[in-house]
Structure 1
Amino acid sequence: MKKSKKMLMQGLSLSVLLGLSSTSFADLVMNSSGNPGQAAMSWSSSDASQLLNNDSLDDDADEISPQGSTTLTTTIRQANNTPVTTTAKPVQLVDTSRYGSQPSVNARAALVMDAQTGEVLYSKNTNLALPIASITKLMTAVITADARLNMSEDITLQQIDFAGAGGKNSSSTLKAGDTMNRAEMLLVALMKSENPAAAALARTYPGGRSAFVAAMNAKARQLGMNTTHYVESTGLDPHNISSARDLGILVSSASQYGLIRQFSTTAHYDFNLGYRVLKSNNTNALVRNGGWNINISKTGYINEAGRCVVMHTTVNNRPAVVVLLGASTSQARTNDATNLLNWVSNLPKRI
């Protein structure tokens, strides 16, 4: 398996790997083994470091002013993967009604933003601070990636990782004693939204959970996410709050991390835990179905938050961020997202 992964890394440049949207890096590693049912992602330290170092090239790609309301600086990639940084005009609400009726959404709050220019194309209660459930895990992934920790380090789940938060227990298909490396923990937290994995990532962070949560809030302030506050890393606690506007900023920032792009959009993966194989599917039906070009995805649900989803997509050659908070059901969330994506696909390429 290690030999196969080494050959894969030599045969495909990192720029090509991270530019793929339909197949995740994890899938490529899995398929290279020739035996998908036994695929266990156990990268070498050097492989994981290469991925993280590649991400560092884009660290300053999205720069939001401290107030979070002036300009959005975006790095776009040409066909040859050469970064081109452009400073867009101030983020503003754009009148798109003249292009046809806007779709109504079930969600309490919604945002569609042009990820290249920062223009807000669709807006509903975008500044309303709401519980965000497992959308929290997107910031968990950013903090984990920023720390540049050894992604091959094994982490064993402890009973405390299943204790839950905010008075909620953590239901999971994982068990105390299960061991994965840090990369696998991040993958299962993003694609399958496993709460114990997100808890373990915080527990094993330098300084522990308190330092991790402090880093989450510091990152939010750095990005200009003014209505956002985190109290833990999983999203089970309803005191994790944010607004659609703030999450639009977070998604734009997270899209610069190749590790997060690949892991959050992995449709299916089999985790080899040694004594059993944990077959896992992405929590976003739009990712599983593969009908849209989705670059970042994270879903969330607790009673207080309703059904939530954030995505970075490319529609009709337009990079777009979609945020939905507080939909009543999973189907309503999927319908909202599909309606908004279809609506964007019929807009002129640039307004």
Structure 2
Amino acid sequence: MLGMSLLMGLSVSSFADLTLNSNPVTSQKRPISWSTNEAKELLLSEDAEGIDLTPQGSTTSSTTLRLGRAPTAVSDTRYSNNLGPSVQAGSALVMDAKTGEVLFSKNSNFSRPMASITKLMTAIITADAHLNMSEEITLDPIDFVGPKQASTRLRAGDTMNRAEVLLMALMKSENPAAAALARTYPGGKPAFIAAMNAKSHQLGMTSTRYYESTGLDARNVSSARDLAILVTEAYKYGVIRQFSSTPHYDFNLGYRMLNASNTNALVRNGEWNINLSKTGYINEAGRCVVMHTTVNSRPAVVVLMGEPSTQARNADATDLLTWLSGLPQDI
């Protein structure tokens, strides 16, 4: 299991036993490691590894200030005149993550099913609970029951520590893993879902509603604007940055190996500097992806919802990143 040979020296009472050494502004990511000393500072929600997320002179919450008004203040027609690529997505948004300026927008306030983008909030609620990451979690048959049947390589009875379960949920988008995180939360699934909705309300995600932790329920809805808020918040967590942008990981369950790859091809191929990523798909949502990326030293958030296919999603994401790379810094 992940780091099992090193877990013996860890505290059994603190979520902060996981240290993920990653630089949010470069593509160089060091291997996952375990530590008892550095993780608490890294995993607390206010952590941004030295990046000031609040504009100078402002005392307002960075997420509210930068995202609460910027996307709604921009007319989608601004981008219809060759100022951005044509995308097949039903909704899209590109935002400068440093200034909060919306650079590209298409139906960004339209609320629609978000599928597994849900799992970013699942990860945030898990992190905020400061649970013991070395605690073993055994998947229960109930974790495989939901509004839809979803493909999975996991089985009831599989046992992993909470860090591995979170990695499975973020990197491989495994639905039973996300369900298990909610089930093992203090107060169980009802408390977990309540925390998800309370957090989204706190962040000003006015178009968002959560009914469960995986994204299989089409009633989990959001807008491209709200998902930009979610990405900005998730970026503050080193564990989410690292796990969601891990290209591959081999899970040793003791009795079998699970060779897993990131669901985002742009993360797997390594051609772009992607700091955080999450994909999603159910029929009602289409293909979705959110990313925090750095292009030509510009940190940016990219959101695509309602793509007709994985190929279209990858093509649109690549086109937007290529377009972004050609923008002047002071656009």
Residues 174 and 105 from structure 1, CA distance in 2 versus in 1: closer, same or farther, beyond 3 angstroms? same
* Corresponding position of 1:257: 237
Q: How does 1:78-89 map to 2 (within 5 A)?
A: none
Cα contact 2:20–2:242 (8 A) shared by 1: no
- Equivalent in 157, 165, 176 of residue 139 of structure 2: 157
Q: How does 1:319-334 map to 2 (within 5 A)?
A: 319-334=299-314
Gaps of at least 5 residues in structure 1 are 8-13, 30-42, 65-69, 75-85
Cα contact 1:72–1:90 (8 A) shared by 2: no
* Corresponding position of 2:227: 247
Cα contact 2:250–2:257 (8 A) shared by 1: yes
Give 1:204 deviation, angstroms: 0.0
Q: Does 1:290 align with 2:279?
A: no
Q: Does 1:343 align with 2:331?
A: no
Give 1:186 deviation, angstroms: 0.2
Q: Does 1:53 align with 2:34?
A: no
Letter in 2 for 1:219: K
Superposed CA deviations along residues 89-138 of structure 1, whole A, max 9, x for unmatched, are 96243897699541000100000001011110000000000000000000
- Equivalent in 62, 78, 81 of residue 73 of structure 1: 62
Cα contact 2:22–2:28 (8 A) shared by 1: no
Residues 236 and 212 from structure 1, CA distance in 2 versus in 1: closer, same or farther, beyond 3 angstroms? same
* Corresponding position of 2:199: 219
Letter in 2 for 1:290: G
Cα contact 2:79–2:104 (8 A) shared by 1: no
Inter-partner Cα distance in structure 2 for 1:313 and 1:62: 15
Cα contact 2:67–2:228 (8 A) shared by 1: no
Cα contact 1:298–1:310 (8 A) shared by 2: yes
- Please, what TM-score do these two structures have when normalized by structure 2? 0.85
Q: Does 1:109 align with 2:59?
A: no
Residues 304 and 216 from structure 1, CA distance in 2 versus in 1: closer, same or farther, beyond 3 angstroms? same
Superposed CA deviations along residues 256-283 of structure 1, whole A, max 9, x for unmatched, are 0000000000000000001001000000
Q: Does 1:236 align with 2:211?
A: no
* Corresponding position of 1:122: 104
| SS of 1:197 mapped into structure 2 | helix
Residues 23 and 4 from structure 1, CA distance in 2 versus in 1: closer, same or farther, beyond 3 angstroms? farther
| SS of 1:292 mapped into structure 2 | coil
* Corresponding position of 1:200: 180
Inter-partner Cα distance in structure 1 for 2:213 and 2:68: 34
Superposed CA deviations along residues 326-347 of structure 1, whole A, max 9, x for unmatched, are 0000000000000000001000
* Corresponding position of 1:147: 129
- Equivalent in 116, 124, 131 of residue 113 of structure 2: 131
Cα contact 1:88–1:117 (8 A) shared by 2: no
Give 1:73 deviation, angstroms: 2.1
Decide which moves more: 55-64 or 173-182.
55-64
Inter-partner Cα distance in structure 1 for 2:45 and 2:274: 22
Inter-partner Cα distance in structure 2 for 1:28 and 1:208: 29
* Corresponding position of 2:13: none
Inter-partner Cα distance in structure 1 for 2:21 and 2:81: 37
| SS of 1:278 mapped into structure 2 | strand
Residues 216 and 172 from structure 1, CA distance in 2 versus in 1: closer, same or farther, beyond 3 angstroms? same
Give 1:15 deviation, angstroms: 9.3
Inter-partner Cα distance in structure 2 for 1:53 and 1:193: 26
Give 1:54 deviation, angstroms: 1.8
- Please, what TM-score do these two structures have when normalized by structure 1? 0.81
Number of aligned residue pairs: 310
What is the Cα-based RMSD across aligned positions, in Å? Answer: 3.0
Which of structure 1's runs of 4+ aligned residues deviate more than 4 A?
1-7, 59-64, 86-90, 94-100
Residues 350 and 197 from structure 1, CA distance in 2 versus in 1: closer, same or farther, beyond 3 angstroms? same
Gaps of at least 5 residues in structure 2 are 10-17
Inter-partner Cα distance in structure 2 for 1:170 and 1:158: 16
Superposed CA deviations along residues 278-306 of structure 1, whole A, max 9, x for unmatched, are 00000000000000000110000000000
Give 1:23 deviation, angstroms: 5.4
Residues 151 and 319 from structure 1, CA distance in 2 versus in 1: closer, same or farther, beyond 3 angstroms? same
* Corresponding position of 1:18: 22
Cα contact 1:72–1:118 (8 A) shared by 2: no
Letter in 1 for 2:325: S
Inter-partner Cα distance in structure 1 for 2:67 and 2:281: 33
Cα contact 1:294–1:312 (8 A) shared by 2: yes
Cα contact 1:157–1:178 (8 A) shared by 2: yes
